[in-house]
Amino acid sequence: MSEITKVLIRILPFLVIIIVLNSRIKQKKISTSELAIQKPDSQKKYFIWCISFLLFCLITEYLLYRNGILEIKKQSFNLIPSIIRIIGMVIIAPIAEELIYRGLFLNKLISLKINKHIAIFILALIFVGVHSFAFENTLSSNIGIAQTFIDASLFSYARFSTKSIYTPMTMHMTGNLIATLEIFLL
């Protein structure tokens, strides 16, 4: 199987999620408000969340690196598969995951009258579980689990704070961009 095929297979589920949700919206089976697809109620809050998350990521990665805890598996890929992989990791996956987690799932938990903080905790646990394939039994990996949980929680709080899915999408893209840069550049 070619490298391009492998990369496309990894991205395909995320594209399917986006296509299906878009189709459900057009069929009026899901409303854009259920997914919080709307401009943030405050541009100031949006920028505060996004810039704060960027700083949080950069400081965390710097401290982990400085203390010799950050383990990066530098990878080498051919150009076209690398471009596809980067688009998938930085754009497509965050959009799909945020629509599912901070859109559909969070909305569903809130509609079931689950406390906002408990709903965020539940979603963060699920998010970690879904991403657990990337974790190994190392200190760095265990820190990665904690980072993933914290990130997922912050994404949900940002979604509530700005009343928009665009805020956690941007934050998620930022985090994935930093991780992608580490893989390709360090």
| CB within 8 Å of 18: residues ≥ 6 apart | 92, 95, 96, 99
Residue 16 confidence (pLDDT): 98
Per the prediction, the chain carries an average pLDDT of: 93
How far is residue 33's CA from residue 68's CA, in Å, rounded to a whole number?
Answer: 44
Residue 135 confidence (pLDDT): 65
pTM for the model: 0.93
- The answer to whether 11 and 96 have CB atoms below 8 angstroms apart is no
Query: Which residue in the block uniquely carries the two structure tokens 């700005």?
Result: 162
Helical segments of 70-115, H only: 79-87, 93-98, 106-111
Residue 120 has pLDDT above 80, yes or no: yes
| CB within 8 Å of 155: residues ≥ 6 apart | 98, 101, 102, 168, 171, 172
